């Protein structure tokens, strides 16, 4: 574990490299991914027998590790033939083991009720799908801004309305969009009744060093 942070950074460098298809880089990826598997997953293999789902609670450098890509074998094969962890398990992530266990204790309603939340920011809406820079998508903390305003997420209102249309004949639907999408309205809606489906379409601000300071962008 002494080089865990460096190994994760190196793995992400290879993944994001435009030439990762080259044999030398692919083999470097295989060796590094297998090494991380041996450190993080192999010691738990006996406990994972018979399991099909993994809930991973992250901390520190592990926030940057795509567990889906870890390899049990370091056999040199094409990417399509590698035994990625994702091929064996359904993988989910959570910030807190305690919070996850409390959520599991709650009874989920089965009434097709739906709550949709989309602030639909206007800044940057002029960018089309073809001209919109990928830079805006690479870092949710800094790249989400345009002239000190959140960049619009295209089609978020359409997302909310489409889902609501599918469910409104079966259950209660509630939509919070534009300036109705405030923290106060969201909190009040969540406290008023349990919803079976909740869809939040907005920017997320992630603080990796202190996850408790992470946030969702909304109107004041």
State which H helix or E strand residue 57 sits in: strand 53-57
Low-confidence stretches of the chain (pLDDT < 50) are: 125-143
pLDDT of residue 141: 44
b/e sequence 121-151, b meaning 16+ C-beta within 10 Å: beebeeeeeeeeeeebeeeeeeebbbeeebb
Indicate the pTM of the whole model.
Answer: 0.56
Question: How many helices and strands, by DSSP H and E, does the chain display?
Answer: 5, 9
Q: How much of the chain, in percent, has pLDDT values that exceed 90?
A: 60
CA dist 123 to 76, 120, 150, 178, 179, Å? Answer: 47, 9, 6, 13, 14
CA distance 195 to 130: 36
Residue in 38, 36, 51 with CA at minimum distance from that of residue 5: 36
Between the alpha carbon of residue 7 and those of residues 128, 163, 186, the distances in Å are 37, 41, 40
At 84-142, the pLDDT tens digits run 999 999 999 988 888 888 888 877 788 999 999 999 887 654 444 444 444 443 444 44
With 0-12 / 13-18 / 19 or more C-beta atoms within 10 angstroms meaning exposed / middle / buried, residue 60 is exposed
């Amino acid at each position: 574990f002494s080089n865990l942070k460096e190994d994760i950074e190196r793995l992400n460098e290879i993944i994001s490299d435009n030439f990762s298809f080259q044999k030398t880089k692919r083999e470097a990826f295989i060796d590094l991914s297998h090494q991380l598997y041996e450190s993080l997953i192999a010691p738990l293999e006996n406990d994972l027998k018979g399991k099909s789902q993994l809930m991973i609670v992250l901390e520190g450098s592990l926030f940057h590790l795509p567990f889906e890509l870890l390899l049990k074998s370091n056999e040199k094969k094409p990417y399509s033939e590698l035994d990625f962890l994702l091929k064996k398990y359904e993988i989910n992530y959570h910030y807190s083991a305690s919070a996850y266990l409390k959520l599991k204790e709650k009874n989920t309603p089965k009434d097709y009720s739906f709550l949709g939340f989309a602030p639909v920011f206007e800044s940057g809406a002029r960018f089309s799908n073809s001209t919109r820079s990928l830079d805006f998508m690479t870092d949710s903390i800094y790249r989400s801004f345009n002239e000190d305003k959140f960049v619009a997420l295209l089609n978020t209102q359409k997302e909310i309305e489409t889902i609501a249309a599918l469910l409104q004949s079966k259950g209660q639907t509630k939509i919070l969009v534009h300036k109705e999408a405030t923290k106060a309205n969201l909190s009040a809606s969540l406290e008023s009744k349990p919803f079976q489906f909740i869809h939040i379409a907005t920017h997320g601000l992630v603080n990796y060093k202190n996850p408790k300071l992470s946030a969702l962008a909304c109107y004041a």
